[in-house]
Structure 1
Amino acid sequence: MSDTEETSSDQQQQQQPSSAANLLKNAERMEAMNARIRLLAQKRNDSRRANKADVVEEDRKIKNPRHQIEEMKKEWELKDLEERQRCEEEGVDFERAKAMRTSVEEVRKRDVLLKRKKNPNKDALITGDYETMSLRQNERLTRNIKPDFNEYKRMKEALGEEQFYPGSNTIADGHHYPTTSALDRLATTVLDMQKTREKVHRRRMFDPDQEVTYINEKNRVFNKKLDQFYGKYTEDLREDLERGTAL
């Protein structure tokens, strides 16, 4: 064997351990990289789940704004309870301490809210939102209605499907007559509304010296409105009619 062959064999023997060490290092590096990738993937999934939970919670708050109000109310009640306990420990009157910390603006806002809660129709009268008043009245009237399903079925059988569920082409021939109980309920409701209206509307003082130009209360109100808007234009004509000099 020549010297060249011996040298090459020695180099191969030296390269074999070094190549094995390199493979081991590469394997360790790949394992560390895979572990890092798995960790990043886990963090990404956790972040995705957290973002989805936040989006769902925000959507729930938007669809149910009362939830946020309830949360604020719970926080306020907890804070109020802690303050009450602290005042009891210190021997201080809680209501007095609370009144001393409350500003005038907060008291005014609270009074306005209480008045608005007692008379919700007042805001509708101020803003002209009569639709809200009508809806509230309809809910109040329908709340007391107790449906009679036996009468419902009997009337449905007597009239038939076409007359009981009329459409745009159905001719109403007067077969549907309300029951006596329904008529009594309607009459009672109308009388109650009249009594309520008489209590709410303030009666004007009667002036005996004023000229009587009306036949009943509604006619008096109507004449007053006419005089309010057209009185200044018809004043001369009315005076001429009274004197008999009108043409």
Structure 2
Amino acid sequence: MADAAKPPVADAAKTAEDRLARFRALKARAKESSDQNLKEATKESQRLATDPTQLTALNRKHAIASHKLLKADVEESGGDFERKRAWDWTVEESERWDKRVRKRDAHRDDTAFRDYAQESEKAYKRQLRNMGNPDLERYTREKMTAIEKAAAAGTLDIVETDDGEMIAVDKDGTFFSTADSTAFAQHKPEKAAVDRLVADLRKAEEASLKKRKERMAKNGEDGGDVTYINEKNKQFNQKLARFYDKYTSEIRESFERGTMV
């Protein structure tokens, strides 16, 4: 009987050992996963905490340093640096690079001040870019509405030309504007267009005021009214102010209050 009871005890002990081994393996796997997750979370936190602009600046500095080092080595050995560097480029890459250089030089020349007409043209092109695409669907709807209204009023006739082309002729100029037409003054733009225009004007005014403040701060001015057009005129106005401000201050204050008769 004792011998018959031994095998079940041995099987139970073996089963307990197997369970303990599996438990230890699961525990080790859980610890390994936890350590790996902690390591990945630390890397992600460090990556998010790193300023991408600093990385970009470092990469740019590294590229510039490598470029200068390679150029110095090639020129020191008596070789042609541009020819040496062109060996690593394909024809397509070389053409893309030349196009990029020309575009960069043109942009640099375009940003430099030349005259006020060129500055006005730049501002006009910038406003066109910021204006966005025209609403062609709305324009088409308004056009069809105007044509239908003119046709219903009997002021729009369809006339055939000598070459067989059919054109619309407006009798009183309500649709096709003439020199005597005032229909354009009755157009009312949508609210979104008006808001966009107001925002653009406000943005331009804020930019102008900012530049003016920066210029005055650079010249050491206190931010008062600008009464001069250049440095010579500024010195002349300051000389006048030293001698005549005590006589004209009351008159100027009256003009500012609006009480001057």
The TM-score, its normalising length taken from structure 2, stands at 0.43
More helix by share: 1
Which structure's CA Rg is the greater one?
A: 1
The TM-score, its normalising length taken from structure 1, stands at 0.44
